[in-house]
Amino acid sequence: MAQLHSVENLNKRQAKALALLAERGLDALAVNATPSQFYLAGSHFHLMERPTLLFLTPGRKPLFVLPGFEVGKTHNLGYPLDTVPFGEDPALWQASFDLAASQLGAPKRIGIENLHLRVMELRYLERAFPDASFEDAGDLIAELRMTKDESEQAAMQAAVVIAEAALEATLAKLRVGMTEIQIAGELIQQLYAYGSDPELPFQPIVASGPNSANPHATVSERALQAGDLLLFDWGASKDGYFSDLTRTVAVGEVEPEFKKIYETVRLANAAAREAAQPGAACGDVDAAAREVIEDSGYGAQFTHRTGHGLGIEAHEEPYMRAGNPMVLEPGMTFTVEPGIYLDGRGGVRIEDNVVITEDGHKSFSSFPRELRVIG
C-alpha cells in the first residue's frame, strides 16, 4: 500500500487543503499531533506533554514546530518542509513558536481544529500571533478526509478482513465460564495475529448478559453464562485506517424476546444499508433503521445514532443521525449500527462498514448477520 501515503498523495492533500483555506479566507492552518496531521503530512507524532504543530500556509513550505529529538521523523517524508525544533526546557518553547510566526509572515486568520487543539498549544499560538484570530476549521478538514480514494478504501477493506478473521478465531475458543476480560484478551491477540497494526481503533467491547444492554460497556470480570447475549464491538487497523464492527451472538438457547429484537435489528441494519445511496441525506440512513425498530415497538430502546464516519479515526464525519442534511457522496465511508437495548437484561447491535459508490453502496464487511449460537 505504498501509494496510500506517497508523496504524490500527500502533495494532493496539502494542495486541496490550501485551496479550501483560500475559499474560506484563511491565511494558515495549524494542526496538532492528531490524525489530521498524519493525513496531511504523513507524520506519526504522539500527543504528549511537548507540543508538535504543523503549519500549512499558501506559497510556503509546510512547517513543523516540534521537539528537537523528533526532527529525524521529518527527514524521510519526501517533500520539502521547514522545521523549528525546541529543546527540553519549556521556558524556551515559546521562542520556537515566535520564530515560526516570523517565518510564516504573521498570518491574520488561522484555522484550527476545535476538537483536537489543546489549550497548551492555543496559548503558544496566541502569544506568537497576537494579531491573529483562531477559527475552527474542523469542517474544512472533514471535507478533506470524508471522501476516501481507492487506496484508502483498500486499507479499510483490509482492516475489516483482519477484524472478521480475528472474531471467527475468538468465537471458536469461547466457553461458558470465561470472563469478558479473558475473551477480550483473546480477541486482541487474534487481531494482532491476523495482521492488525499495533494501534487499534479502540479497546474492544465484550459485553455479556445484562452488560450487553449498555452500548458502550466496559469489559468486566463477569463470566459468560448460558442464555446470555454476547456483544462484540471491535476493530482492526491497517496502514493507519480503521475498521469498526459489531456482532451479537447467543450463548446457547436465549429467551424468545432476545430472538425477536435480534431479528428486528438485523432488518434495521439491512434497511439502513439499502438507504445508503449517493444523493441521500445522512438523516435518511438513520430514519430507515429507526423506522424498522419503531414499528416493532422498540423505538425507545434504540438510544443512539445509526452510524458515524470511519477512516483514520474511529469516529469522524459524516454522522448518520436524525435530521442530518449532509448529502452522501461516492467515497464516503461510515458505519451502520442500529441496536436495541433492554435495560438490565441484554442488548443487540449489528454494525457494518460501508462506502458510497457511484450507483449505491458497498459493504466492506461480510461477517454473517444471522443470529449465531455458540456454546
pLDDT digits (tens, 9 = 90+) for 291-318: 999 999 999 999 999 999 999 999 999 9
- Which residue type occupies 186? E
36, pLDDT greater than 80? yes
Which residue carries 481544529 as its cell? 113
Cβ contacts of 284-290, under 8 Å, gap ≥ 24:
285/320, 285/328, 285/336, 286/320, 286/321, 286/322, 286/324, 287/322, 289/336, 289/338, 290/322, 290/338
Instruction: Assess whether pLDDT exceeds 80 at residue 2.
Output: no
Nearest to 99 by CA among 83, 77, 118: 83
pLDDT in tens, 154-168: 999 999 999 999 999
Average pLDDT, the chain: 97
Paired with 56 in beta bridges are 29
Contacts of 347 (CB under 8 A, 6+ apart): 207, 212, 213, 214, 215, 229, 231, 248, 261, 339, 340, 341
Separation of CA 40 from chain center: 16
pLDDT digit string, tens, across residues 169-178: 999 999 999 9
CB 223 within 8 A of CB 177: yes
pLDDT, position 3 = 79
pLDDT above 90 for 4: no
pLDDT of amino acid 230 = 98
pLDDT tens-place string over residues 321-339? 999 999 999 999 999 999 9
Mean per-residue pLDDT, 188-216: 98
For 42-86, the pLDDT digits (tens) are 998 999 999 999 999 999 999 999 999 999 999 989 999 999 999
> What local confidence, expressed as pLDDT, does residue 282 receive?
98
Residue 97: pLDDT over 80: yes
Please give the grid coordinates belonging to residue 11: 502533495
**Structural domains of the chain sorted by starting position, each given as residue range(s) with its CATH number in brackets:** 2-145 (3.40.350.10), 147-374 (3.90.230.10)
Check whether 117 has a pLDDT greater than 60. Answer: yes
- As a whole number of angstroms, the distance between CA 104 and CA 84 comes to 11
User: Using 50, 70 and 90 to split pLDDT, how confident is the model at 187?
Assistant: very high
pLDDT digits (tens, 9 = 90+) for 213-242: 999 999 999 999 999 999 999 999 999 999
Per-residue cell: 211? 452488560
Q: What is the mean pLDDT of residues 133-150?
A: 96
Residues written for the chain: 375
Q: What is the pLDDT of residue 1?
A: 39
